Structure 1
C-alpha cells in the first residue's frame, strides 16, 4: 500500500528555496573541512536536517514536500555544487524515503515518513558487499526467520553512505537460496533477496567509518556489520524474497546520481569563470570560447538529468542509466578543461577543484557503477 499521491506538479507552485546564503556558506565550508580531516561532515548533516531538504521525497500527507523527481534532482545538484558528500547523503535519504512510500505498510508509512520528512531521521542504504559484485547478485549477508516470527540478520555491508549517522538503514540480505555461482544475469539483485529497515540504535548493527576515502570524504561512507541483528517481521520492506523487483523499479523513479555529478561539474565551471574574471582572462577570445564549451557540457548533462526526472521516455529506466553516464562523463571532461584554464593555480593542494574531481570520480563508482550501467543498457538491447 502506498501513500496518497501529491497534487500534480504541473498545477502547483514550485518548491521554495531551502538554502539561504548562510546555509550555502556553511555547506561549502564544511565540505572543505571534512575533505581535510576525512571525518563525517556533521555540520552538513545538521544543515540537511534543519532546512527541510530531507522531506522533499515524502508526500504532503506525511509532512513532506511531495516533490517530483525533477525537483529532487535539482536540489541534489544544488547541494552537490556546494558539498558533494552532503549531496550523496541527501540522495540516499531520498532513495530510502521513496522506497518506503512505494512499498511500506500503513503502519510503516505512519511511523517512518513523518520522521524522515521532519529531519528527525536520516536514512541510508546498505546494499553493497565486498565480493558480491556490482550487480548485488551474490550476497553473503543472510536473514533467517526465528521461531517467534522475527528475523536474524548476519553479515557485513561495504561502502554504506551515512554509516554511523543514519537513524534507519535499508538493508539488503539473502533470505532464500543463493544464486548459482557464476550464473549470468541481466538485472540488479537476485531472487531470494529481501529488504529490511534496521534502526540505527539496533545493537546488532555496528558501523565502521575508518575506511580512508579518496573522494566524498565527509559522507561517512564505510562498513556496517550485522551481528545477530534481530528485527521484527514488521521491519521487512516489501515481500520476502522479492527485493530484486523493488530494485528494478528504483531506476524507473527518475532520481539519478547524475544529479550529483552535474552539481560538481557546475562547481568546477564556476571556479573557472571566477578565475578568468579575477585574472582578466575574459579579454581573450580563446578563454571565453573554452568556457562556453565547458558550459555546454554542463547544460547537456543538465538536460539528461532533467529528462530522467520527467520519466517521459518509452524506457525511463534506461534513460536514468544514460543520465548517470552522461553526467559523470561530462563532469570528467569539465574537470579536465577547468584544469587547463586554471593552470598551476589548480594544483595547490587546497584548491576546491581537486575535491570536485575526486568526488566526481566517486559518483562513477557508486551503484550502479558506470560499468554496470553500460551493461544494463546494452543487455536491454537484446530483449
Structure 2
C-alpha cells in the first residue's frame, strides 16, 4: 500500500520510518479513513462504542505493534508514536481505546508479567479476542496513586481477595479482563492482578454525561471480595515502581496522541478555510485566518520534534521519567492552544460536529488531564532539574 506523507508533518519526520513501518502505517490509515472516520461523529454525539471496532483494529495489527508474547517493542518507538498520532488524528477516543488495550493492559502484562502470563494473554489480546482494561485510578486517588491507593489485596492461601473501587477506567464496560492495581494488606506494596471481569464481586458501571472522549466507555469499578488465584498475580509487579515502568512507556504515547489530536483539528480547519467563502474569496486567503493556521502548524511541528526525540531515547535506552513527563506536559498544553485556534478559524461552525473541529476541541481536555496532569508532570521535571521534590 502506498504511503503518502502527511502535509501536517511540516518537517518530514515520517521519513525516519522504515519502508515496512510506512506500509503498516498506510494500512492503518486506510482502515481509519474508510471504516472509522465516517462514523465517529455519530458515536461521539451518542456516547456509544462502535460495534466491531476492536476486531477491526486488531485486523490492522494495531494491538500487536508494540508487544508479542516474549519481547516488547517489536517496532521502533517512533513508529508506535506515529500509530498513536494516526489514531488520534482521526479520533482521540479511538486512540484511547488502543492506548488502553495495547499500552496499559498489554503493556502491564508484558512489562510485569511472567513469560507464561505473556504467552497466555498477549497473543489473544493482540488478535482482539480478549479486550483489556487498566484499573489504577480510584475515586479518591488519582495523582497520588503511588501512595494513596485504597484498593486492597489480601493473600489467602493460593488466592488473593481484592476489595475496593476504581474510577475512570477505559474499556471497562466491555473488557474481558482488567489489570487491577491494589495494595498488599501484608507488606503495603502495590501489586498487579489480571482479573477476569466475570469474576464474582466484580462490577463495572458506565460513567455518564462526559463532555470529552465520549466514545470511550469509562467506568466505575467495584471490587467486593473478588478472588483471583496466585497465577493471575503479575509476577514481576512488586511495588508501584513496577507500575510506573508501564506508565513511563505509555505517557510518551499520550503525548503523541496529543499531537495527533492537534493534527486532526488543524487539517479540518485548513480544509474548511480553503472551502469557506466570505467577502467573495476563501477565508484561507485572509491574513488573520492564515495567522491562526500558521500558529497551529508551528505548535504541531514543535511538539512533533519533541515526541520523536523522546521516542528515540526510549529506543536507545536513555529515556527517563522526566523526559516522557516533559513531552506529555508540553504537547498537551500546545494542543489546547492549537484546537482553540482551529475552532476560532471556523467561527460559529467550530462548535458543531459536522466539521470535526468541535470533537477535537472537546477531546483535548481529557488528553490534557489523563496519564498525569500537566501539574504532576511539571513536578516530575522540576524534581529532575532542581534536585528538589515539591510534590507536597
Instruction: Tell me the distance in 2 between the aligned counterparts of 1:252 and 1:365.
Output: 16
Three-state SS of the structure 1 residue aligned to 2:258 is helix
Tell me if structure 2 keeps the 8 A contact 1:55–1:65: no
2:151 is the alignment partner of 1:141 = yes
Q: 1:251 to 1:319 in 2, by over 3 A?
A: farther
1:317-356 to structure 2, matched below 5 A, reads 317-348=321-352, 350-356=354-360
Instruction: Tell me the distance in 2 between the aligned counterparts of 1:252 and 1:347.
Output: 35
Q: CA deviation at 1:177?
A: 6.1
Three-state SS of the structure 1 residue aligned to 2:346 is helix
Question: Residues 320-339 of structure 1, C-alpha deviation per residue, up to 9 Å, x if partnerless?
Answer: 11111111111111112112
2:214 is the alignment partner of 1:253 = no
Of the three residues 264, 280, 285, the one matched with 1:267 is 264
Equivalent pairs counted in the alignment come to 360
Question: Residues 31-82 of structure 1, C-alpha deviation per residue, up to 9 Å, x if partnerless?
Answer: 21221112233353342233221111113768x9822322222111101111
Tell me if structure 2 keeps the 8 A contact 1:58–1:101: yes
| Unaligned stretches of 5+ residues in structure 2 | 1-15, 277-281
Instruction: Tell me the distance in 2 between the aligned counterparts of 1:212 and 1:284.
Output: 38
TM-score by length of 2: 0.84
Tell me if structure 2 keeps the 8 A contact 1:116–1:122: yes
Identify, as 1 or 2, the structure richer in helix. Answer: 2
Instruction: Tell me the distance in 2 between the aligned counterparts of 1:271 and 1:79.
Output: 15
Three-state SS of the structure 2 residue aligned to 1:54 is coil
Q: 1:293 to 1:23 in 2, by over 3 A?
A: closer
2:118 is the alignment partner of 1:121 = no
For 2:364, the equivalent position in structure 1 comes to 360
Tell me if structure 1 keeps the 8 A contact 2:149–2:182: yes
Instruction: Tell me the distance in 2 between the aligned counterparts of 1:107 and 1:205.
Output: 25
Three-state SS of the structure 1 residue aligned to 2:223 is strand
Q: CA deviation at 1:267?
A: 0.7
Three-state SS of the structure 1 residue aligned to 2:148 is coil
1:1-383 to structure 2, matched below 5 A, reads 13-14=20-21, 16-17=24-25, 18-19=27-28, 21-59=30-68, 66-95=74-103, 96-136=105-145, 137-147=147-157, 149-176=158-185, 192-239=189-236, 242-253=238-249, 255-279=252-276, 280-311=282-313, 315-348=319-352, 350-380=354-384, 381-382=386-387
For 2:7, the equivalent position in structure 1 comes to none
| Runs of 4+ more than 4 Å apart | 9-12, 312-315
Instruction: Tell me the distance in 2 between the aligned counterparts of 1:32 and 1:251.
Output: 30
Tell me if structure 1 keeps the 8 A contact 2:292–2:342: no
Tell me if structure 2 keeps the 8 A contact 1:251–1:317: no
Tell me if structure 2 keeps the 8 A contact 1:164–1:200: no
Q: CA deviation at 1:170?
A: 1.2
Instruction: Tell me the distance in 1 between the aligned counterparts of 2:366 and 2:128.
Output: 26
| Unaligned stretches of 5+ residues in structure 1 | 1-8, 179-190
Comparing 20-29 with 34-43, which one deviates more in the overlay? 20-29
Instruction: Tell me the distance in 2 between the aligned counterparts of 1:336 and 1:91.
Output: 24
Q: 1:204 to 1:235 in 2, by over 3 A?
A: same
Tell me if structure 1 keeps the 8 A contact 2:65–2:75: yes
Q: Please give the root-mean-square deviation of Cα atoms over the aligned residues, in Å.
A: 2.5
Q: 1:102 to 1:349 in 2, by over 3 A?
A: closer
TM-score by length of 1: 0.86
Q: CA deviation at 1:158?
A: 0.2
Instruction: Tell me the distance in 1 between the aligned counterparts of 2:290 and 2:69.
Output: 45
Three-state SS of the structure 1 residue aligned to 2:111 is helix
Tell me if structure 2 keeps the 8 A contact 1:256–1:323: no
Q: CA deviation at 1:379?
A: 2.4
